[in-house]
Every structure is written in structure tokens, then in C-alpha cells.
Chains A and B, each alone.
Chain A
Amino acid sequence: MNKWLSIAKKELLYSFDTIVNSYAVVFFSNNVVFGLLLLLASFVDPLAGICGLIGVVSANVFSRVIGLNKEFIRKGYHGYDAMLVASGIAHFYSFNETVLLVIVCVGIFSTLISFLIHGILHKYNLPTLSFPFLISIWLVFSAFPSMSTMQVHPELIYSLNEKQKVSGVTISIWLETIDKLENHLLSFPQIVSVYLKSLSSLFFQSNILSGLLIAIGLLVYSRIAFSLSILGFVAAYFFYPMLGGDVSDFYEKFIGLNFIFLAIAIGGIYLIPNIVSYFMTVVLTPLLIILLFGLNKILYMVGLAPYSLPFTLLTILFLHVLNYRVSIKYIHRVHHQEFSPEKNLYNFLNTNHRLRLFNFFPIHLPFWGEWMVSQAHDGKITHLGEWSKAFDFIILDNEMKSYQNPGQVVDDFYCYNKPVVACADGYVVSVMDNIEDNEIKGINTQQNWGNSMVIYHADGLYSQVSHLKMGSLKYGIGEFVKKGEIIAYCGNSGRSPEPHIHFQLQESPIIGSKTLDFPLAYYIKRENKKFSLHSFSKPNEGEFIQSIEVNPLLKLAFELIPGTKLNWKIKEENQEVKSQQWEIFTDSLNVSYIYCHDTKAVAYFYNDGNMIVFTSFFGSKKSLLYHFYLAHYKLVLGYYQDLIIEEKYPIATISLKFINIIQDFFSPFYRFVNANYAVKYTFIDDINITSEIILESAAEIKILGFKSKAFQYSTNLKSNKINEFIITTSNNKTIAICEN
């Protein structure tokens, strides 16, 4: 019995989600509150509301029955077109059984057509937008211009009496109340009421009250979307009369939403919101108006109205053009849609500065230990023209000499005959191994590259090491090499007056191809005794660099593989000891996360063997996991004494309640809230045989440069695991001990 109950409960929740999301997704959102407010707004006209709901349900049931992706149905992708079409039908035709039948059928049709259009547009990396809705509603209007079974609504202008007549007495009280409210709202200034009426035209209404509900929902969902909607609207309100239109068209002809949708889509959903995207919104508005006039004339000939076509067309045209750019400077397309301009923006900032690892194939340094960059990209000596994006490496002693003794033979050079390792996994594609090593200061310009090896890593990404020692190449063509494996030894062959490694990335397997400007995944730079971490960047000439040498303790302590459980005993000052269990899972995209069974909090992370990076957190900001996420936001898995890694947290993960809301409004232009992360590698008992490490980190929130909140963390690693995690705030100290 219980089993059935739980299944029923699950189904009910699922159905709820599918319905609410089908409404919210119209505004590119997946916010429940917004969805409910939209649902409520549609019920300002109860009959239209019911029709919309029927449309949603029919499309979703159909999708479910034929076995479409359950998650997509939940997200409302298949329901929203049907809902809009149904609202339209409810508006234009008197309600009867035939209308009901048409709504169900068209609900299904909108699902069918949406797949075709999605299939076409997706190839060009473009969204489907309102096309399915438009085609469906045009279909209905063309099919039933005026038929006995489908009566066009006798009174298209809103009237209480009319509605009452149709819907019966039961809902008359509701309608009366709404009417009263509406009368109160009529006192709004014209621009506000037109804005609200434009919003309500979503449900083919011109109603201030439902517009108000939608506006509130929009504000709850996203401050950026809300401000964009106003920006787009105001621009249109200004330009429309200028181009000879009358703003009453906004709600009478249901076209006002075009401006609002364009603003949200261009300003914050498909592009990262910033000053340029806002500017674009304003620039495109007059164009949208012209498009609207034109389309209106053309469609009028076949007896149809453009509805949301102008916005859909213009958005797609604009996005399509962006795909052909060769230089990306100010306008950034959203690659991973989060259905919220704020999330898109914060994610972008986060990814752009921090998570570059997702953008590049990881290439590591081709040697062990510390070497110096004797020539970097665009080096003045030989890294010129098409071969400018290469590195030369040598070994220097403390006196900055590259050799001992008199330095007259290759053996005197520190780097000569030292291992050269594979910079990443790959197949050997070219080798040269029989060129005699030069004497010091001798240059072989006939065989410029000397002994070399080219490794294939990915399509269009090859690495080449050159000037290797004759006969030292360990692999031949076709063999697979693993990252960090010795592939040869440093020599002095080719155009090399003294031993060094030449390292470059290139597009083709031929030795000496044109070089690629590609960053190195990670390296540690040393300046005197100070270490600094560099990720996905390129070293400069004269820098002393080394690969990350992974520390086994750090590696094991943060080897959070799925199935691992962490049991915590948490002792807060003056409180009883609590226990918590965390478990590691992976989702369907193979992204790992820590899940806390007790607080239900989730922290996503990424561990590539060199670094562990926490990418996002969901759940209570009082939980231990939240602090764990903040404290280990970015860690390198090698130990370097006093190394400090600094980073900025996405503002959204910091709880500041209403300050966050204010920040959201300004975030595309100026971020006055800053959350800074810093970790310091404080203590290690021994670098080679490690049994204890202490990391100290801090999360600091600054508002307009003033410190508002700070957490201090200390993590102790021992016996191959995280041993102790201490959280210190200004007035409290929590000690969590991991008992595994």
C-alpha cells in the first residue's frame, strides 16, 4: 500500500512540476514561484486559464505516452507552446466541446512541430523560441476563420457581463473581485499600465492585474530579466510612436511582449548580460518595430497577425550572426543555459576566470623538476613568424649558469641527457632520432629541428619536442605514450648551440609545423622562495617553472570517488556533538558531487588529478558542507610551502539576502559585492614521506570594499584522509572530525 502511496506522491509532484514549469519556461525560467504566478495570472480569465491548463496537460500527456524524455517534460519544454495556443484559442473563440477538442489536438500538434523546428535550428546552435506556437495558432486561425462549430468570440473586448454569461454564476464572484481590483489599478500612470497590459498579452489579455502578477513573478525570478523587460519596453514606448505607431497596439494587438521578450532573450538569456548586451537590446528595438510593421502587413494579407514572430525572427537572426564571429570581445553567448540571467552571468564570470580547465585540453610541461624558460612565445632569437608560439627550456644553477666546469662539452650542461617526458597522453606520429648532437656553440642549420618527436593528442593538437639526444627516443611511430612518461633525453641536435628542450604545440603531425598559441594546464612558478600556481596560462621568458608534483596525502585525502562516505562528528561551541554523513555520487553527465544525507546539501566538484575545484553548491548555507565547499574551493594537489591560491566565489553562493537582490540589478555592469577565497599551504611534516598536512583558508565577503563577513578554515589531513576541519567565525568555532 505504502509503495503505491509513494508512487502516487511522486507522480503528483512530477505532474505539478511539469505544469508549473510549462508556464515559467515561457520567460526562459524554471522558477516555481514565477510559474505559479503565471498560472494565477492566466486564471484572471478563468475560462482561458482552464483552456491553457488543458493545453499543457494534453501536450505533456502525449509526450509522456509516446515516451519522450521525462526530464524535458518536467522542465516544461513540451507544454508551453500548447499552453499559449490554448490561451489564444480561448480568447478568440466561444467555448464549447469543439474548441476543447481543437485545444487538445493543437496541443499535440505543437509538440510535433516543435521537434521538427528544434531539429532544424539546433544544428545552427539556435533556440526554437515561439515558432511551434506561431505555426500552431496560425494553423487554427486558418482552419477556422469562421465555422459553425467554432464561433469567433462575439465580443472580443473584455466585458464582465459577457464573461458571466459564458461561465455561469459560480465564478461571478471571482470576476467581480477582479473587476474591482482592476478599477483600482487604473489609476497607474499610462506607461505603467501599458507595460503591465503588455505583459498580460501573454495570455491574450489586456489586463493590468494579471500583468502585475507577471511582473511580480518576473522580479522574483530575476532582477536582471525584470530590469531588461523595463528597458526593452521603455525603448519601444519611445520608438514606437516615433515610427508612426500607437502604443495601444501593445496590448490590443498583443505585440507588446515582443519588446520584452527580445530584451530578456538578447540582454540576458542567450547572451551574458553586460553593458553591451543591454545596449544591443535598445539598438535592436527600432529594428524590431520595423520588422513588426512589415510582417503585420504581409500576414494581414492571409488574415493572420504576427504575434511573437518579430521577436522570434530577430533573436534568431542576431544569434545566428554571432556564430560567425572571428573575434569575441564584448558579446558572449551562453554555452550552458541555466535559465536565469543571474546564473548565466555568475557562471560565466566563474568559468571565465577559474574554470578554464573545461575549455582546454590539458597540456603539461615536458620535463621533471625545475627548469627555466630561456625563450618563450614570440621569443626574439628564434621564435619568430609562424614558429613563434614555442618554448625553450634549460636548467640553471643558483648562480644562473647553465653548465658546470668550463662548459665546453655537452656533458657540462645541466640539462643535457635529462629526461624529457610526454606532456599529455597520445600517439607518437613523427620521430627523428639519428642526428648527431652538436658540439657546444655548433649549429646544425641543415637539420634545423634536430632529433624530435611529435605526439598526437587530439584532432588538430600535436606537441613537438626537439633538439633531443641522438638515439635517446624511446618510442616509435604509432606507439602510445602516457602523460609524464619518459620519451627521450635532452640533447643538443639541430639548430641548438647548447643543450635545451624546444617545446611547441602545433596543428599537424609534421615536424616543424606552424605553432599553436595554446596554454599549459598547470605549472608552479618559483620566484626566490615564493611559489605561485598558474593554470591555463603561458610562462614568460626567464621564469623558473615546474609541473605540479602530486602529493600522495593530498591526492588520497581528496580522492572523493563515487561511493566514498565521510562520517563527521561536529562539535560547535556550547552545543552537543552532532554527526553527519556525506556520500559521493556522480550525475548522468559524470560530474561528481558530495551529498549530505542529513542536510540534503549538494556540492559539485571536479578533480583532474592535479587540482580539485568546487564548481557549485546547493542547499543550506548553514551546513557543514557549505563551509567545506568554501574552504576547498580550489586546491592544487601538490604541496608547496606557503603557496597561496586566491579566487573569487560566484556571488550567488554567498548569502547576503537583500544585498544580493540589489547586487543582481547592477551585476551586469558593476559588482560591489565581492567574495574572496584564499588558501595557504601552511604545514607539512615531510614533503617526500608525508603523514600530515595543514591547509588554512579564508572566505571573505566585501561590500563596496568593506569587509562584511569572514570565515577562517583550517583543514588537517592525516592518515591518508581528511582528519579535521575547523571553522572559525568572529564569534564561533566549530570543529568537525572525519571518522572514516
Chain B
Amino acid sequence: MKTEKLKYERPAIRKMNTGLMNKFGTRTEYAPFTHIDGVSVKELINKYGSPCFVISERTIRKTYQNAVRAFKTRYPKVQFAWSYKTNYIDAVCNVFHQEGSWAEVVSIFEYTKAIENGVPGNKIIFNGPEKTKADLQVALENNSYIHIDHFDELYDLIELTQELKKTAKVAIRVNMDTGVYPMWDRFGFNYESGQAWNAINKIMASEYLEMVGLHCHIGTFMLDPNAYAVAASKLSDLAVNIKYVFNKTIQYLDLGGGFPSANTLRGAYLPGPDMIPSIDEFAEVITNTILNYGFKKEDLPLLILETGRAMIDDAGYLLGSVIANKRLSDGRRATIMDFGVNILFTAFWYEHKITPAQEFSSHTEDMVIYGPLCMNIDVVRSSVTLPALNKGDHVVVHKVGAYNMTQWMQFIAMRPKVTLIDTNGNSHIIRENETLKTITEPERMPDHLKTFNL
């Protein structure tokens, strides 16, 4: 057996903590995290540099299949649509499409991306408040599902379909009071005020619009499954009324997304995994509500879910290294990492779990983790208990798959590589790191600014 030199850890002074006696002393909350799907973190950093995002294909597939099973064993017709905005790196999208997911997009940019990925037009759901007439025309020609957000969009679409004499498959987005605060009423048509029913009447009266579905998205990081019961029952109510008044069977109810991942929200009393309901609990209330609403068995609508965060967050890791250690004026320890809020945007609202990627002793210290930016806001964790880390040590940030790779900023530093570990344990680059050229290429220099003398 190879003996390794014991790791040097700097001495630290710690305040005495009272608590129950145990023979292990104080411990960190985590064990070292050295491998992702069997691939060593050290190797990954050597190969792809630091920082670097790593996505586990196995975790995506497992999470997806688990969610599908949770719904499909409770309800006969279920379809998931991959929410592009959560992570629209093509390789990630294609994992979902391979698993059978449709695409849910909220801009013509995402729409085009989905089309280029090879998603058939009739398996794209076009959401979002901004759809120009040109965008609508593209969606119309591809036979995509258009989820109308407001009356102006509805009028545009009526006009367009009449010009082209082509039928559009539409749904409306409905907002409603589900008992959660804040109420998301800026998207779609309101249910309680009758606005949604008004929109439905207009759609049913227009020659070239076919009302195929109803959509809602009641919020994000929802911690109360019962809110979905309310949403499902209000959508079902509209669907049943449409059947009753217009004798039109609504083909699908789209409950949107908003299921939480196991991340801990800032300021939350309990850590995420202890607090969030499982996908089964959401599935239970949603399917029960619809099944017991009184649809005829053959009229039971397809249930669409646009879950993003809960599907991908767990599969994403951010690998990084320590740049420096510092002591702050109040005596607290500060560790500066080579990643900051520029690429870990979710650090603004999550207390991300961070674990060292190498062995450490049982001695820990409370510390602040800063990013590399020359900006005061660049705080990754304002207070975390970690073992003493040396310059060059590696850390792994967990559950970063959602939103980071779409909301990240090219600010001060450039964005790193994104890699994927496939189900056989091979790693692949799925997005190259940015270079100076990536950033300067779109820039244009007026002639008079081309030269200067200093």
C-alpha cells in the first residue's frame, strides 16, 4: 500500500461549541467528494481546467425516468417537455429528447435551437410573453403549440391565421390564485377575474384557432404540492366548461414546472433535502385532482409537465479550485475560489453545498467563500463550515445543473468548459470555454478608434 504524506492543515482557533458529547468531536457536514460517476475530480480538472461544469448523463436519465414513473403509474397519459431556459446546451437537451421529452421554449432563439436539435415542430411548446408576428408565423408553419400569453398576442395570431388561412393549435396560459405568495399574475390570463374565460371565448369564436390545451405555471421552487392541486382543479374546471359550452374536448392540461430541486434556499431554516416534497407527492396531488374531477375516461386530457429545475439541478456539478486564503477584519476566514457569481448565478438564491474534492481532517472552520471577481457582490457562500483549504485545493459545488449554464455572465472573466460524463463513464466536452476571440469577434471598431497613442 502506498503511503501518502499527511496533508498539512494550518492551525485554527475555534470557539468551544457546547452540545451533546460524542466520541468523534466536531465534524464537517460532508465527506470528501472525489469522484463523479466514477470519474475522478482531479482527473477532470487536469483534463478540462478549473473551473469547469460537469453534467452527469446518468443522473439526468435517472431523474427523468423517476419523474416519468411517478406520473405514468398514476395517470395514463403524461408528457414531459424540456424547459429550454433551464439548460439549453444542445447535448443536455438531446439527452431529454432521447428520453422522449418535447421542447418547451420561451423565445424564438430557443425555438430555433429546438428546431436545429431536430425536435419536430409539433412537439414544441411555444411559451413566453414575447412572440413577434414573425415568430408566430414560424411556429404556425411548423404546427407547434402556441401558448398565448396576452390579448395582443391573441389578436396578432387571429390576424396572422386569417392572412395565411392556416389553423393554429393554441392554448392559453392561465394565472390564478393557488394560495401561494407571491401570486404570479404577470403571465397569461387571470382565472378568477374571468379574463381566461374571455380569452377562451375569443379563441373558440375565431375560425383558424384550434383550442387544444390549457397551460399554467404557478411559480417556481414551489414547496407546497397543494398549490398544484388548486391549479389542476382550476384548469380542469376550464376544460370541463369548454366541453360543456362548446362541446370541444381539451387535449391537454399543461401544469408547467416549478418543482423544486434539493438545493437549500438562502434563509431557509432547514436544508433543502429535508424540506422539499418529492416528485411523487406532486404527482399524487396533480393526478388525483384530474382523475377525480369528473372527466370521462376517453376525454381525460394529456398531462404535460415542463419541469426544468427538478430534472437537471442534481445532474450538474461545478468543479473549482482555491485561489487564496485570507482573514477578514472581524477574524473570520475567507477563501477565494476561481468561480464566482458570474458563472454560479444561482449562488444569489441558494446556499450551495460545497465539498472539498480531497481528503481532509476533522477540523473545520466557519468561512466566507468569495469568487474571483473584483466586485463586492461576488459571494458564493457567506458562511459555511469547511475544513481548512489550501491554495490549489479542489472543491465541488453540487446541484448546479439548472439555470447556471443559461444565466451565467461573461463578466470580468470568461465562461469555462461544460463537460458531460456519459452513462459509460466517458467524459465529453459539450461546450468549449470562451476565448478572447469569442468575445471580440462580434465587436466592431469604427475606423477613427482603430489607433491610439499612449
Query: Which residues of A are at the interface with B, using a C-beta cutoff of 8 A?
Result: 368-369, 395, 397-398, 404, 411, 414-415, 417-419, 484-486, 549, 552, 685-686, 688-689, 691
Give the distance in Å from the alpha carbon of A264 to the alpha carbon of B212 in the complex.
63
Decide yes or no whether B241 CB sits under 8 A from chain A: no
Give the distance in Å from the alpha carbon of A235 to the alpha carbon of B280 in the complex.
76
A–B Cβ pairs within 8 angstroms, 15 of them: A368-B74, A368-B75, A369-B73, A397-B69, A398-B62, A414-B73, A418-B73, A484-B297, A485-B297, A486-B291, A685-B120, A688-B77, A688-B79, A689-B122, A689-B252
Give the distance in Å from the alpha carbon of A549 to the alpha carbon of B75 in the complex.
12
Contacting residue for A397 out of B65, B122, B251, CB 8 A:
B65
What are the 5 A-B residue pairs with the smallest beta carbon separation, nearest first? A688-B302, A369-B73, A418-B73, A369-B72, A688-B79
Q: Which residue of chain A has the shortest Cβ distance to B79 in the bound complex?
A: A688
| Cβ–Cβ contact B298 & A686, under 8 A | no
Q: Which residues of A contact B77 (CB under 8 A)?
A: 549, 688
Q: Which residue of chain A has the shortest Cβ distance to B145 in the bound complex?
A: A689
Decide yes or no whether B76 CB sits under 8 A from chain A: yes
Q: Which residues of A contact B79 (CB under 8 A)?
A: 688
A485-B297, A549-B76, A552-B298 given; name 16 further pairs at CB < 8 Å. Answer: A368-B72, A368-B74, A368-B75, A368-B76, A369-B72, A369-B73, A369-B76, A395-B69, A397-B65, A398-B62, A411-B280, A415-B73, A419-B73, A419-B291, A685-B120, A689-B302
Give the distance in Å from the alpha carbon of A549 to the alpha carbon of B79 in the complex.
15
Q: Which residue of chain B has the shortest Cβ distance to A368 in the bound complex?
A: B76
Query: Which residues of B are at the interface with A, using a C-beta cutoff of 8 A?
Result: 62, 65-66, 69, 72-77, 79, 120, 122-123, 212, 251-252, 280, 284, 291, 297-298, 302
| Cβ–Cβ contact A398 & B65, under 8 A | yes
Q: Which residues of A contact B72 (CB under 8 A)?
A: 368-369
Give the distance in Å from the alpha carbon of A418 to the alpha carbon of B73 in the complex.
6
B282 to chain A, nearest CB (A): 14
| Cβ–Cβ contact A395 & B73, under 8 A | yes
| Cβ–Cβ contact B73 & A397, under 8 A | no
Give the distance in Å from the alpha carbon of A549 to the alpha carbon of B252 in the complex.
17
Q: Which residues of B contact A418 (CB under 8 A)?
A: 73-74
Give the distance in Å from the alpha carbon of A29 to the alpha carbon of B412 in the complex.
97
| Cβ–Cβ contact A688 & B65, under 8 A | no
Q: Which residue of chain A has the shortest Cβ distance to B249 in the bound complex?
A: A552
Most chain B C-beta atoms within 10 Å of own C-beta, residue among A411, A552, A688: A688
Q: Which residues of A contact B251 (CB under 8 A)?
A: 689
Q: Which residues of B contact A685 (CB under 8 A)?
A: 120, 122
Give the distance in Å from the alpha carbon of A656 to the alpha carbon of B298 in the complex.
44
In the complex where A397-B65, A398-B65, A552-B298 touch, is A689 in contact with B212 (Cβ < 8 A)?
yes
Q: Which residues of A contact B302 (CB under 8 A)?
A: 688-689
Q: Which residues of B contact A486 (CB under 8 A)?
A: 291
Q: Which residues of A contact B120 (CB under 8 A)?
A: 685
B214 to chain A, nearest CB (A): 14
Give the distance in Å from the alpha carbon of A369 to the alpha carbon of B73 in the complex.
5
A712 to chain B, nearest CB (A): 26
Give the distance in Å from the alpha carbon of A414 to the alpha carbon of B284 in the complex.
12
| Cβ–Cβ contact B297 & A419, under 8 A | no
Q: Which residues of B contact A485 (CB under 8 A)?
A: 297
Q: Which residues of B contact A395 (CB under 8 A)?
A: 69, 73
Q: Which residue of chain B has the shortest Cβ distance to A416 in the bound complex?
A: B280
| Cβ–Cβ contact A419 & B69, under 8 A | no
Q: Which residue of chain B has the shortest Cβ distance to A474 in the bound complex?
A: B292
A550 to chain B, nearest CB (A): 8
Q: Which residue of chain B has the shortest Cβ distance to A415 in the bound complex?
A: B73
| Cβ–Cβ contact B122 & A417, under 8 A | no
Give the distance in Å from the alpha carbon of A397 to the alpha carbon of B65 in the complex.
8
B243 to chain A, nearest CB (A): 15
Contacting residue for B123 out of A411, A419, A552, A686, CB 8 A:
A686
A66 to chain B, nearest CB (A): 50
Q: Which residue of chain A has the shortest Cβ distance to B65 in the bound complex?
A: A398
B424 to chain A, nearest CB (A): 15
Give the distance in Å from the alpha carbon of A404 to the alpha carbon of B69 in the complex.
12
Give the distance in Å from the alpha carbon of A417 to the alpha carbon of B74 in the complex.
9
B8 to chain A, nearest CB (A): 38
A521 to chain B, nearest CB (A): 17
Give the distance in Å from the alpha carbon of A552 to the alpha carbon of B296 in the complex.
14
A528 to chain B, nearest CB (A): 15
